[in-house]
Amino acid sequence: MAAGKEIRTKIGSIRNTQKITKAMEMVAASKMRRAQEHMAAARPYAERIRVVASHIALAHPEYRHPFLVERETRNIGIIVVATDRGLCGGLNINLFRCALQAASEWQEKGVGLKFALVGSKAGAFFRHVGGEVLAQADRLGDRPVMEQLIGVVGAMLSAYDKGEIDRLLIAENRFVNTMSQHPRVASLLPIPPAENTSMHHQWDYIYEPEAREVLDEVLRRYIESQVLQAVVENVACEMAARMVAMKSASDNAGELIEELQLVYNKARQAAITQEIAEIVSGAAAV
């Protein structure tokens, strides 16, 4: 019964793994609900400020803010929003692939790359890719807040101000539903004017106190809020992806246990049969 014992220990260890993946699945499910609420709560602000920013891009101001001006692209900055922890299926890898594809399209045109990385998985991956890393933020937790991101966003915006980058992109996961998260690369800077035919006449805001100050504040906040929204959404994506990945891991473990159980039973039966045969033939010989 040597084989039997081996199989039993194997079943035991798979059962232990299954316990862990089941627990992780349940934790991820409850965290996902909270992350979704958080995401929904932050959305109105992000959407409203996007509307305001698109209005601003449509106006004909006396002062053209650099964030609104398209310029020749020599270097681009990409903010990559990934997770801090693994075991969430292909979420990060799909995102990195998407980001690298966009990056290589620019690279073919001879454009330099600079990265800002959110989440330690992004840090670990892009260390090997090459390209300059301007800023990095990790260990954001399950409820990221603006304060944690100001460094990253600030570094990219000041690089844009100084002309070190001429375009700012963000690689993010969009939460579609629990089963699907879409990686995509979106443009943050320069801010494109909205397509809105009803507002084509020449107009401008009254600015209080100064056009420059107000525009700077509003546009900076716009970028900050878009990045925060991406990070918050990424948490929801992470939890959903982990839940699904852990569910399929638990299911696989269950199947494996069943198969091994079958093998074990067969081996046990064979051993018993053999023993009986030995006894019977022994008795017959006497």
Partner 1 sequence: MSTIHVNIVSADEAIFDGEAEIVFAPALMGEVGILPKHTPLLTQLRPGAVRVRLGAGEERNFFVSGGILEVQPHMVSVLADTAVRARDLDEQAVLEAKQRAEDTLAERRKEGVDLAHAKAELDEALARLRLIQYLRERDLRH
Q: How far is C-alpha 17 from the chain's CA centre? A: 25
In the complex with partner 1, the residue whose CB is nearer, 160 or 222, is: 222
Number of other CB atoms surrounding residue 69 within 10 Å: 10
CA distances to 57, 99, 165, 248, 251 from 168, in Å: 16, 13, 7, 37, 42
CB 204 within 8 A of CB 59: yes
Contact residues for partner 1, defined by CB under 8 A: 41-42, 44-45, 48-49, 51-52, 55-56, 59, 146, 203-209, 213-215, 217-218, 221, 225
Q: 37 or 258, CB closer to partner 1?
A: 37
> Could you tell me the smallest distance in angstroms from the CB atom of residue 35 to partner 1?
14
Shortest Cβ distance from residue 132 to partner 1 (Å)?
A: 31
Query: Min. distance of Cβ 83 from partner 1 in angstroms?
Result: 22
Name the minimum Å distance from CB 191 to partner 1: 15
In what side-by-side order are the strands of the sheet with 112-118? 132-137, 112-118, 75-81, 167-177, 180-189
175 backbone dihedrals φ, ψ, rounded to 5°: -85, 110
Least distance (Å) from partner 1 to the CB of residue 89?
29
For partner 1, the closer CB: 106 or 207: 207
Q: Which is nearer to partner 1, 102 or 218 (CB)?
A: 218
Q: Residue 53 in contact with residue 191, Cβ under 8 Å?
A: yes
Query: Which residues share a beta bridge with 174?
Result: 182
Smallest separation, CB 49 to partner 1 (Å): 6
Query: 46 vs 122, which CB is nearer to partner 1?
Result: 46
> Per residue in 177-213, is it b (16+ CB within 10 Å) or e — as a string?
ebeebebebeebbbbebeeeeeeeeeeeeeeeeebee
DSSP letter assigned to residue 258: H
> Of 58 and 111, which CB lies nearer to partner 1 in the complex structure?
58
The token pair at 9 is: 């220990």
Sort strands 180-189 and 112-118 into parallel, antiparallel or unpaired.
unpaired
Q: Output the smallest distance, CB 209 to partner 1, in A.
A: 6
CB nearer to partner 1: pick between 63 and 106: 63
Q: HSE of 26 in the Cβ direction (CA atoms, 13 Å)?
A: 5
CB 31 to partner 1: min, Å:
18
Cβ proximity to partner 1, 142 vs 217, nearer residue? 217
